[in-house]
Amino acid sequence: MTPPGPRHLITFLPRLFGPSFVVIASLNLWNVYIARNAQLTSRLCPRLLVEVPIWAIVALGLVARPAWFYIGFYLDRFSDWRAARTLGAVLPPIVQDSALSIISKRKKSIQNGYPGDALYQYLKEYGRGGNIVQLSFLGNRMAFTVEPEHVKAILATQFDSFEKGPVTFAIFDSLLGVGIFNSDGDMWKFHRAMTRPFFTKERISDFEIYTRNCDRALGLARSRLAEGYSFDFQDLVGRFTLDSASEFLFGYNVDSLSAGISYPKHASHRTNSLFHSHASNSFLHAFNKGQHQLAVRAGAGRDWPFFEFWKNEVVPLREEIDRFTEPILKEALAKRERRLASKASGGDEKIDEEENTLLAHLVNHTQDPKILMDELVNLLVAGRDTTMSLLTFSVYMLMENPHIEHKLREEIMEKVGPRNTPTYSNMRDMRYMRAFLNEVLRLYPSVPLDGRRTNKPVVLTSKNANEAPIYIPAGTGTTYSVFYMHRRKDLWGPDALEFDPDRFLDHRLHKYLTPNPYIFCPFNAGPRICLGQQFAYHEATFFLVRLLQQFTNFKFDESENMRPPEEWKNMEGPQGRDRVVPHVALTMNVKGGLWMTMQELKVDEV
């Protein structure tokens, strides 16, 4: 495979050196013309028609590229200004920073910062209170917003004016291919149509899969605690959600829980060889590392190949993922052939009902291995990572707010009981549990940043009704952050930075959220709204019910968890309080894991 860097360089060099080449070539041709027509030029205008000295050619060649950039930038800006003025709109404020500085700050933010803090800092510095700015770097043009009306336009009211676009496709293709999260148009509609029927209430209300995998997961935690060690809750629920999602979607449990869980660093020698050699661990390592690398790419924009110049860092990771998922696909295709053969010979057609899974449905509509493998990866991202994130930050919030743990347990005991398995009816009645999960998603949304690209000029409303609307030119990458939108005091009230599930139950619900529903978008909205939203709520609720029925006194293991930077302590709100490092790949997670201890719940404590 051709390295990304040289291939991209071929397309980049004309942009970089084209203006200089044109100037130098033109001046040299001028000198040749003057030399060949010396007598003619001396008679016409001897003072002007002269050869250009070498030093002047070199100097003009050097300044041609920056001059071309600035002339082009201001011509584009002027053209956009005229188009905006025609529509009675204005352009968003421009961030005054160099391309290298923008890329460097975004990369640093992704690797070690608070989610999206580089972009949010630009917004505070240049946004003039309007909650939207525009960045330009190396030919990339991007708008960044935290305004609900803009999010509403992107996701719903002007949906057809926004797309994933070629830059996003190029960034994510190595891992996600042409799956549902990295496609537009007919391909996206195909994936959406295939997936939708498998998230009906009847399907997502069958909790047998949750019961089996949850009991195994909590059994692993119980065993580790009995040995006197803490455990990584994030890794545990990541395995629970992976096994549950694979069984629900594909009819095949990848059984990552059978590998067990790792020991803390100081007892790492106790981790047995089975854990290290288990196929699911290679898959999970590649899965996690691949998503992180995509986040780094996104920070660099269309010129990401320069940061992976000689080697595509994601391709070998995708190959590792494919080695794990390929047997699942082969078995599904083989079952399809057996079904067709059975029907052809007049066999029992009930065999179809036995394989009534999403994967079986997909292989009935296409046998293209690339499309199918890509969709498997996309569905595993959705099925594992979003709920893993929700559960991880939920338990983190229980550690930080013990009174909420007690309040949740009271509701569980009232609605479900101390030992019963929760049902769909139970979950529907657990209003405080749903409010708790919503509050977790408000402050720690699973997908804190997302984006689209305008495929035509777009006009967005301003924050204030008496201000002119905002004009966004065609071809502009538009990133929005629900992470910061969910924390705005002007949208959620003066206590917006406090964790309080009751805001989804008391007068604040009707004061803030009901009249303005787009201030809360943890699962997106509009045509691309997450199909697995209720699946995630059910899975997270089920796990938390079983957890709180059996355990209490959740404690943070200070010796194992990664500590936030000291400067965070001076920040307002959750960032100043956080004892973990929220980290963004495709979804948000706790950097280094969430190491914790807990105690068995005694009968007299129920």
Q: State residue 455's pLDDT score.
A: 95
What digits encode the pLDDT tens for the residues 175-210?
999 888 889 988 888 888 888 888 877 777 778 999
- Residue 74 has a CB neighbour count (10 Å cut-off) of 11
* pLDDT grade for 126, boundaries at 50, 70 and 90: very high
State residue 75's pLDDT score: 86
CA distance 155 to 530: 12
**Binning pLDDT at 50, 70 and 90, where does residue 40 land?**
low
Give me the residue label for tokens 């890329």. 103
Question: What local confidence, expressed as pLDDT, does residue 488 receive?
Answer: 97
Confidence (pLDDT) at 469? 94
pLDDT tens-digit series, residues 268-314 = 888 877 787 888 888 889 999 999 999 888 888 888 888 888 999 99
CATH topology of domain 177-447+522-605: Cytochrome p450 (1.10.630)
Binding residues for heme: 530
Instruction: Determine the pLDDT at residue 125.
Output: 93
Compute the average pLDDT of residues 17-45.
71
Residue 35 confidence (pLDDT): 64
| Helical H segments across 251-278, by residue range | 273-277
Domain ranges of the chain: 1-86, 177-447+522-605
Burial code of 356-375, b = ≥16 C-beta within 10 A, e = fewer?
ebbbbebbeeeeeeebbbbb
- The CA–CA distances, whole Å, from 172 to 164, 167, 313 equal 10, 9, 12
Does residue 236 have a pLDDT over 90? yes
If you write DSSP's letter for every residue of 510-532 in order, what string do you get?
IIIITT-GGG--TT--GGG--TT
In this predicted structure, the answer to whether residue 315 has a pLDDT above a threshold of 80 is yes
Tell me the per-residue pLDDT of 218-233, one tens digit each, with 9 for 90 and over: 999 999 999 999 999 9
pLDDT at residue 213 tops 90: yes
For residue 66, is pLDDT > 90? no
Amino acid, single-letter form, for residue 417: G
Alpha helices in 256-368 (DSSP H): 273-277, 279-300, 315-344, 351-354, 358-365
Rg of the chain, C-alpha, whole Å: 28
Q: What is the per-residue pLDDT across 130-182, written as a single tens digit (0 to 9) for each? A: 899 999 877 778 999 999 999 999 999 999 999 998 989 999 999 999 888 88
Asked if pLDDT for residue 38 goes beyond 80, the answer is no
Can you tell me which residue has the tokens 């148009």? 185
CB count within 10 Å of CB 142 equals 20
* Known binding positions: 530
pLDDT value for 592: 93
pLDDT, one tens digit per residue, over 459-474 is 999 888 788 999 999 9
Residue 490 has pLDDT above 90, yes or no: yes
Express each pLDDT in 524-536 by its tens digit.
999 999 988 999 9
